[in-house]
Structure 1
Amino acid sequence: MKRLPPLPALHTFLITAQCCNFTRAAEQLHITQGAVSRQIAGLEEHLGYALFLRQARGLSLTPQGQAWLPRVQQVFGLIAEAVEQIGEKRQSVQLKAPTCVLRWLMPRLLQWQKERPDIPVALTTTVRHGVDFQRETFDAAVVYGPLPTPSLACLHLFDEQLTPVCSRPLLEGPVPLRSPSDLQHHLLLHPTSDERDWNAWLEAAQVQLNNVSKGQHFETLDLAMSMASQGTGVAIGDWSLIGDDLNAGRLVMPFELKVRTGLAYHLVYPRKPAASEQLQELMEWLVEQAQAR
């Protein structure tokens, strides 16, 4: 098999063939006219036939040069396409997160994409907590629970802090919420299938209610918060995740008590291979957003 011609010489041929002028080709390639002439001569010697006819009024392609041109254009077009597509895939940060954190995470990712459109984020959500980087192709993940395993690089976002929330009309309605015991007269909304969050807060508030098990259970925190904002009842939520709702007035806190559960949200990623520059920028930015609550 004959040795392939050098790629730089083929690129020089492509530019020269498009303008049929050594001088203009040299200007586009940022090299001297002599260098262009030498590369073309070397390519012709390698191939064993002429690609250009040197005429007094300029250059023209030989039949062999005319046959080469569309093929070389196709080759460099494929290279340019590969650079663009593979580069985009490499720069896209693959992030996994549980649905319970989306109320906090999604607005910030939208803000990130406005500020850094050059670093897109592909988000995968799950109702389960945790990540297995050996089996899952994610660059990083938000995890909820106790401190993750030391085998992963870990950045703390915020601790879970439980507190009741409701709409302002419900707070100030016919049966106002002035003390925790007033919760007895309202529908309690649970963000999970169990009642552990409400029970943990009521225990800290030193209040006993007989309507906890009669409340409405939801699959996700987001559903419970949405129903609470509509005045359906009082939800137990994580103060760390619903700051935007509180600031916008969609939800209000009837009581000051916030109960830390000992669980937290962390950003985790494999220690090896080392995190890319794009991933490092995103994670540092998310930590800053969490600290600015």
Structure 2
Amino acid sequence: MSKSLPPLNPLRVFEAVARLGNLTKAAEELHVSQSAVSRQITTLEGYLDVRLFTREARGVVLTKQGRFYRDEVSPAFARIAAATQRLRSSGSSIPLKVSAYTTFAAKWLLPNLSKFEQAHPRIEIRLTSSVQPVNFDKDDVNIAIQFGDGKRTDVTSIRLFDDLIEPVCSPSIMASDRPLLTPPDLVHHKLIHSRFRTADWPDWQRANGVETLRFKQGPNMPSSLLAYEAAVGGLGVAIGQTHLLKQELASGQLIRPFDLPLRRPLGYYALLPRNSDQAEARVFLEWLKDEMKLQGLD
């Protein structure tokens, strides 16, 4: 087993350079000279017999092999750092402040959070909710889960899953004298809207060629959570986020009448401060990605 391990000091230097993207910054973090960092990278590249970085005017850039190696190695260092900090914390829990959209928190995070607590009992999740863009310079937050296009340049943004939307309704609507068999049948029912997702219905209608039809205006709810509850109660048809309604769909509380989901160029993203080195945040991020992969979310 030991023969398959690379020299560990060069590996630690590689992780720092790959994370920071800069030899000088890595040298400062590791309290060594830049030339020492360069030598360690050369040693590791020689051991692996691959090129890990290319030099550019603004610093170093990972090669394809370097990106693969970083993605495999970095989580191990995060776990080692987290384990070390937990061991040194004298048995006290380590708080991790997570901000998440309310719908994501209620429909995905809370139903799954016990799995994280069982795997990492020393990390205490302190959860808050917000729909406002996180500002890590002002907000008392370590990691945020927000909805958008993932193009913010002031944070590290990791996609969790795409935005998949489609109409959902109560079984009572399907049992009525006006069941939903094709998209034009929506004209016979009230459409439930959510305050912060005003583009959902127009986007889905446009994608399915029914944007010119006259639809009945249903209740405009202050959140998606209440929109879904209104749909469960038979007050109309909501436009649902399929990935966040697995429980309601599995139990039969809600039905997908058309099975015509629309995937948009938006999604849920985990956001961290640029160059974040907090071990607990990265452990939580790895758990998020692993759990969503297990659940088949994309």
Q: Percent identity?
A: 30
TM-score relative to the length of structure 2 = 0.63
Task: Name the counterpart of 1:92.
Answer: 95
Matched letter for residue 156 of structure 2: A
Distance in 1 between the 2:148 and 2:254 partners?
Answer: 25
Task: Name the counterpart of 1:239.
Answer: 242
Kindly state the Cα deviation for residue 193 of structure 1 after the two structures are TM-superposed.
6.0
Task: Name the counterpart of 2:287.
Answer: 285
Relative to structure 1, is the Cα distance of residues 123 and 193 closer, same or farther in structure 2, using a 3 angstrom cutoff?
closer
Kindly state the Cα deviation for residue 131 of structure 1 after the two structures are TM-superposed.
0.6
Query: Root-mean-square deviation (CA), in Å?
Result: 2.0
Corresponding residue to 1:211 among 215, 218, 224: 215
Distance in 1 between the 2:242 and 2:132 partners?
Answer: 19
What count of residue pairs does the alignment treat as equivalent?
A: 205
Relative to structure 1, is the Cα distance of residues 94 and 280 closer, same or farther in structure 2, using a 3 angstrom cutoff?
same
1:20-60 per-position Cα deviation (integer Å, ceiling 9, x unaligned):
xxxxxxxxxxxxxxxxxxxxxxxxxxxxxxxxxxxxxxxxx
Matched letter for residue 279 of structure 1: A
Task: Name the counterpart of 2:122.
Answer: 118
Task: Name the counterpart of 1:29.
Answer: none
SS at match of 1:93: strand
Residues 130-169 of structure 1 mapped to structure 2, 5 A cutoff: 130-169=133-172
Distance in 2 between the 1:130 and 1:235 partners?
Answer: 25
Runs of 4+ with >4 A deviation: none
Say whether the 8 Å CA contact 1:129–1:144 is kept in structure 2.
no
Relative to structure 1, is the Cα distance of residues 114 and 175 closer, same or farther in structure 2, using a 3 angstrom cutoff?
farther
Relative to structure 1, is the Cα distance of residues 271 and 196 closer, same or farther in structure 2, using a 3 angstrom cutoff?
closer
1:98-121 per-position Cα deviation (integer Å, ceiling 9, x unaligned):
223222222122442344332220
Distance in 1 between the 2:102 and 2:168 partners?
Answer: 19
Query: Gaps (5+ residues) in structure 1?
Result: 1-82
1:198-226 per-position Cα deviation (integer Å, ceiling 9, x unaligned):
111111110133125x2211111100011
Rg larger in structure: 1
